[in-house]
Structure 1
């Protein structure tokens, strides 16, 4: 069984290794060049290809005629997409007679679209997972082949959950591949009426609204905590980013919403009078002490 694989990030690395372990002939890998403006905290698909002697390319445009011809020349039975950042055009999907399949970081049909792990944490979900599904022109809309659930614990950050989802993706693909290789591909309905769709997120989406409840603020922190850009606020013209925090047991209805220092500890007070205790607060890349923040307040 020959495959062309579009892959990036940790999920791309682990799922590519699963294909190789299952004996799939990976004829070509399509990946991305790392963006120098982005914090690269994840593994490299290109490095795996170099290690394994797999041909790989990094085209800028997945809709180019050149890419179409390169995939066609590889004669894939299957096409896979593992955290590749572009939608694949229908004419490329049609080049694989056994089908084209994507690994998505949620339990479809919930959280279709971009950065599903971050959105799930932001919304306070207690469970997410990985779904292998058929690719269509519409994003994350094809039939479900297999999926694996993972828990989201109350204090998990998106980075921690992403680690679980990466393992779930590996398990999902490992279980599904024998039947796929044999030409017996299970397809379950992906009922979009039961799901949701979300777009991408930008660093500015991490700005804290202190009128929200402490739980909502904490969920935002967890969803965008480092290595993501972080939840942030502006005080006296300076930007502060929450590095580490947890929900505080104390209630602080006597304090106004926003940053506060109490008993030499930094808190972020929500509009409901509850608070998060901030153990690491950053400004200009440096840790801010309670004393320094108190002076600003």
Structure 2
């Protein structure tokens, strides 16, 4: 059996991991991020990759930092055929990558060299791209800079958000990986160097990026909402308070109202944005409340605002 050390953390990685197991790869070890406390009650949560590893009784390693850890020493002794990563979230030491007998391989959620970094799926939505995809690539010391072994594109649908794209790309990534690994074994794999002139980076989303700004057009605001759903969520400052928007739609109409004004709260809740554009909010979450559809909001708090009044803070 072909041996693998697998590294990953979110559900994207768990789908790839299960694919390897079901395709009869010998997964010698699974490395994932440490358990973390989540929510108001600070409940300890194991990563989706850890949960998948436990389902198949696979050995799990969870160093806070792999480099210099005792876990790394143990993993170095395994010397698997492949080291495979899928959204692990840490840089890997060069000596560890070199311990793979055949290749260290990464499943990356973009069409490299576009969107190197930790948030490729989010940036494809932020920038209004029409497609994204998966790259199977060689892991090297420099971030996402290795040679490309395989790529496959995926159309981004208007209703897609980060959650739906992660789900679609995890399946595409699993399938493309399982198509590619056997090519190493029969010497038919190809490799293509990345064009450095085409490199685009996608750093992790910052706290500042979570706010929907009035300098945005309705389309840009909608792209941000899609990119940050389901985590961490984009927000407006409405009446001085954070007001999360989970789903919206760009309206066909134009308005002369200043950006941040209420265009309508009759059976809809529409806000003006830059370039006279209008955004219909469809699913929202006022501070301290649960998520709700816009009908529930308009029938309650949303009915107190007046059309034409500026209700969104800069």
Asked whether the 8 Å contact 2:79–2:101 carries over to 1, the reply is no
Count residues with an aligned counterpart: 295
1:277 partner SS: strand
- Inter-partner Cα distance in structure 1 for 2:19 and 2:302: 49
Gaps of 5+ in 1: none
- Inter-partner Cα distance in structure 2 for 1:38 and 1:140: 32
**Corresponding position: 1:202 with 2:211:** no
Tell me the alpha carbon deviations over residues 185-240 of structure 1, each in whole angstroms, 9 at most, x when there is no partner.
32112223212012111343111111221111111111112x21222121332111
- Inter-partner Cα distance in structure 1 for 2:8 and 2:88: 5
- Inter-partner Cα distance in structure 2 for 1:17 and 1:180: 20
Q: Which residue of 1 aligns with 2:193?
A: 189
**Corresponding position: 1:276 with 2:285:** no
Instruction: Tell me how large the CA RMSD over aligned residues is.
Output: 2.2
Instruction: With the length of structure 2 as denominator, give the TM-score of the two structures.
Output: 0.87
Q: Which residue of 2 aligns with 1:107?
A: 111
Indicate which of 71, 80, 88 corresponds to 1:67. Answer: 71
- Inter-partner Cα distance in structure 2 for 1:53 and 1:263: 54
Range with bigger deviation, 125-134 or 25-34: 25-34
Q: Which residue of 1 aligns with 2:137?
A: 133
**Corresponding position: 1:234 with 2:243:** no
Q: Which residue of 2 aligns with 1:11?
A: 12
Structure 1 runs (4+) deviating above 4 angstroms are 38-43
Indicate which of 297, 305, 308 corresponds to 1:289. Answer: 297
- Inter-partner Cα distance in structure 1 for 2:254 and 2:45: 36
Q: Which residue of 1 aligns with 2:36?
A: 35
Change (3 A) 1:257 1:42: farther
- Inter-partner Cα distance in structure 1 for 2:224 and 2:261: 15
Instruction: With the length of structure 1 as denominator, give the TM-score of the two structures.
Output: 0.92
Q: Which residue of 2 aligns with 1:262?
A: 264
- Inter-partner Cα distance in structure 2 for 1:56 and 1:21: 18
Asked whether the 8 Å contact 2:135–2:151 carries over to 1, the reply is yes
- Inter-partner Cα distance in structure 2 for 1:42 and 1:94: 29
Asked whether the 8 Å contact 1:127–1:151 carries over to 2, the reply is yes
Change (3 A) 1:41 1:206: farther
- Inter-partner Cα distance in structure 2 for 1:219 and 1:42: 30
Gaps of 5+ in 2: 306-310
